[in-house]
A and B are shown apart, each in its own frame.
Chain A
Amino acid sequence: MKVLLIDSEAERAGIVEAHLAGAGATEVVRPEPGEALPDAVARSNPDVVIVDMARADRDALDGIRRVADETPRPIVMFVDDDDPAFMEAAISAGVSSYTVVGVEVPDVKPIVRAAVAMFRRYHLVEQELARARSSLRERAVIDRAKSLLIRTRRMSEPEAHRWLRRQAMERSRRIAEIAAEFVASVNHEGDGTANNKPGNTGEETTNDR
Chain B
Amino acid sequence: MTDNAAPVRLGLLPLTDAAPLVLAEADGIFAAEGVAVSLCVEPSWANIADKLAYGLLEGAVMLPPLGLAMALGMRRAAAPLLVPMSLSLNGNSIVLASRLAAHVLEDGAMPAPGVAGARLRGLLPSGPGLRLAVVHAWSTHDLLLRYWLAASGIDPDRDVTISVIPPPEMPAALAEGRIDGFCAGAPWGGVAARIGVGHAVLHSSAIWPNHPEKCLAVRADWAERAPATLIAVMRALLRAGQRCDDPANAPDLANLLAQPRFVGVEPALIAASLPGGAGEEVDRSVFASHGAAVPWPAHARWFAAQMARWGAMPEDAAARAEAIYRPDLYAAAADTLGMAMPDVTATGAFVGI
Contacts and interface: CB of A to CB of B under 8 A. Distances in A.
Interface of A: 36, 38, 53-63, 65-66, 69-70, 77-81, 84, 87-88, 91-92, 96
Contacts of B46: 58-59, 61-62, 96
Given A58-B44, A59-B46, A96-B50, A38 B168 contact: no
B307 to A, nearest CB: 11
A194 to B, nearest CB: 30
B47 to A, nearest CB: 6
Interface in B212-243: none
Given A57-B169, A65-B137, A92-B56, A81 B44 contact: no
Contacts of B76: 77-81
B166 A57 contact: yes
Contacts of B148: none
The 8 closest A-B pairs by CB, nearest first: A63-B137, A56-B166, A78-B76, A63-B164, A56-B43, A78-B77, A88-B54, A60-B164
Contacts of A87: 50, 53-54, 77
B312 interface: yes
Q: Please indicate which of the listed interface residues B43, B137, B157, B164 has the most CB atoms of chain A within 10 Å of its own CB.
A: B164
Given A36-B163, A63-B137, A87-B50, 10 more contacts: A53-B43, A56-B166, A56-B169, A62-B49, A62-B138, A63-B136, A69-B311, A81-B76, A84-B54, A87-B54
A112 to B, nearest CB: 13
8 contacts: A38-B164, A56-B168, A58-B46, A59-B135, A66-B311, A78-B50, A91-B56, A92-B56
A53 B127 CA distance: 35
Q: Please indicate which of the listed interface residues B163, B168, B312 has the most CB atoms of chain A within 10 Å of its own CB.
A: B163
Nearest to B73: A81
Given A57-B44, A81-B77, A63 B163 contact: yes
Nearest to A53: B47
Interface in B176-228: 178
Nearest to B45: A59
A195 B312 CA distance: 64
A5 to B, nearest CB: 17
